[in-house]
């Protein structure tokens, strides 16, 4: 398979069925940068003058995000929250530190670190036990709080997270399955600093799938932690992603249509609502042949029967 973009048709390293394309290393890196630049522009995330705080975990998404923003010329520092999950946290901390020293420092970017155990007196597992709450939800609360606090206290203009298309599609699926309408507003890729004390939050990777971001990290030699967080095993998020990936394999573009379609509907100004009865009365009229309601002159049934009768019997 060759690259569908470059004129010399170099050998491709990845094919993207949802874009009907395949890319070599250089064209793929350009494609990812363009997708992020489009998200930043279309959702008015930030400008080159803004100071950005990236929430990094040592995983592919957050390190790739930091890498992309630095390469696009943005002023992006990062915050790592050490959750105290034994060897997993030690390894992820090492990966972040290594990236900060070997790559980010050359862009004059700084890494900030918060250690949960130093402030809370216990790691995330112990805190979840004490509070009788699921570990993932305790973790989410602590990370959101610490990232927001750091962004506000250290005067960053915006906080960026590595949420990708798969994260947002899976979250949307979860919210829709349980009709959690109150959470839908928070699925926008840009959340404003709505009140004093809240930082503006953005998701610049929202146009890219998890696989595309992992591929970007491999192609650009970003050393991230491949191991899954031991606390996430059996999470609903993984189940929703698995279901969506099965659909995506059968029908490329499903995740994109699901999430982007939601965003399109969310961005449209409220149209006057029309009841089903009002819509039917506006669009339907009696079929000229049988009299049953139809949107056309002749209903589908009458058309089908007319066609069937026109074919000679065998």
Partner 1 sequence: MIVQLSHPQRQVEIKGPKRTKELLRELNLVIEAHLVIRGDDLVTEDEMLADADQIEIRPVISGGSLG
Binding site for partner 1 (CB under 8 A): 1, 12-15, 22, 59-61, 136-137, 139-141, 144, 166, 170-171, 174-175, 209-211, 213-215, 218-219, 226-229, 231-233, 235-238, 241-242, 245-246, 248-249
Residue 19 beta carbon to partner 1: minimum distance, rounded to whole angstroms = 14
Q: Which is nearer to partner 1, 199 or 214 (CB)?
A: 214
Q: Which is nearer to partner 1, 146 or 245 (CB)?
A: 245
| Integer Rg of the chain from CA | 25
Q: With respect to partner 1, which residue has the nearer C-beta, 124 or 151?
A: 124
Query: Residue 228 Cβ, how far from partner 1 at the closest point, in Å?
Result: 6
CB 100 to partner 1: min, Å: 21
Residue 44, phi-psi category: left (phi > 0), alpha (psi -120 to 50), beta (remainder): left
**Alpha-carbon dihedral angle through residues 205, 206, 208, 209, given to the nearest 10 degrees:** 110
Q: What distance in Å separates the CA atoms of residue 63 and residue 94, rounded to the nearest whole number? A: 12
Which helix (H) or strand (E) segment is 234 a member of? Answer: none
Residue placing its CB nearer to partner 1 in the complex, 34 or 242 = 242
Cβ distance to partner 1 smaller for residue 53 or 173: 173
Which residues on neighbouring strands pair with residue 142, listed in sequence order?
A: none
Any residues with CB less than 8 A from the CB of 139 and at least 6 apart, and which?
A: 83, 124, 128, 231
- Return the structure tokens found at 194: 């709505």
CB of 272 vs partner 1, minimal distance in Å: 33
Q: Smaller CB distance to partner 1: residue 68 or 215?
A: 215
Contacts of 303 (CB under 8 A, 6+ apart): 296
Under 8 Å between Cβ of 172 and 258: yes
Given a contact cutoff of 8 angstroms between Cβ atoms, the answer to whether 16 and 1 are in contact is no
* Antiparallel, parallel or unpaired: β 21-23 and 14-16: antiparallel
Question: Which tokens in the block code for residue 246?
Answer: 């099965």
Report residue 144 as tokens: 């959101």
Shortest CB 122 distance to partner 1, Å = 19
Q: Which is nearer to partner 1, 190 or 209 (CB)?
A: 209
Work out whether strand 201-202 and strand 293-294 pair parallel, antiparallel, or are unpaired. unpaired
**Smallest distance, Å, CB 146 to partner 1?**
14
In the structure encoding, which two tokens stand for residue 197, read together? 């004390």
CB of 127 to partner 1, least distance (A): 14
Least Å distance, CB 245 to partner 1, is 4
Least distance from C-beta 41 to partner 1, angstroms?
26
- Rounded-to-integer distance, Cα 40 and Cα 203, Å: 9
Q: Which is nearer to partner 1, 113 or 176 (CB)?
A: 176
The residue among 59 and 204 lying less far from partner 1, judged by its C-beta, is 59
Count of alpha carbons within 13 angstroms of residue 13, beta-carbon side: 16
């Amino acid at each position: 398979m060759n690259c569908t973009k470059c004129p010399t048709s170099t050998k491709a390293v990845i094919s993207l069925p949802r874009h009907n394309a395949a890319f070599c290393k250089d064209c793929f890196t350009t494609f990812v940068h363009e997708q992020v630049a489009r998200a930043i522009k279309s959702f008015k995330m930030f400008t080159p003058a803004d100071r950005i705080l990236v929430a990094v975990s040592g995983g592919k998404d957050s390190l790739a995000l930091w890498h992309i923003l630095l390469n696009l010329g943005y002023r992006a520092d990062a915050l790592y929250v050490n959750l105290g999950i034994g060897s997993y946290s030690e390894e992820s901390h090492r990966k972040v530190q290594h990236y900060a020293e070997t790559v980010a420092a050359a862009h004059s970017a700084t890494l900030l670190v918060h250690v949960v155990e130093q402030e809370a007196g216990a790691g995330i597992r112990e805190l979840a036990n004490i509070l009788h709450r699921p570990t993932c939800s305790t973790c989410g609360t602590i990370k959101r709080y610490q990232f927001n606090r750091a962004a506000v206290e250290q005067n960053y203009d915006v906080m960026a997270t590595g949420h990708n298309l798969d994260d947002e599609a899976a979250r949307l699926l979860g919210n829709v399955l349980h009709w959690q309408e109150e959470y839908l507003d928070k699925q926008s890729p840009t959340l404003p600093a709505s009140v004093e004390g809240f930082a503006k939050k953005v998701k610049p990777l929202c146009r890219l799938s998890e696989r595309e971001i992992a591929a970007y990290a491999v192609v650009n030699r970003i050393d991230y932690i491949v191991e899954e967080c031991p606390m996430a095993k059996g999470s609903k998020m993984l189940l929703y992603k698995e279901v969506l990936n099965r659909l995506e394999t059968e029908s490329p573009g499903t995740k994109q249509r699901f999430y982007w379609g939601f965003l399109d509907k969310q961005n449209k100004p409220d149209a006057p609502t029309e009841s089903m009865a009002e819509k039917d009365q506006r669009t339907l009229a009696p079929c000229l042949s049988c009299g049953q309601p139809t949107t056309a002159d002749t209903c589908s049934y009458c058309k089908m029967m007319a066609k069937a009768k026109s074919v000679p019997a065998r």
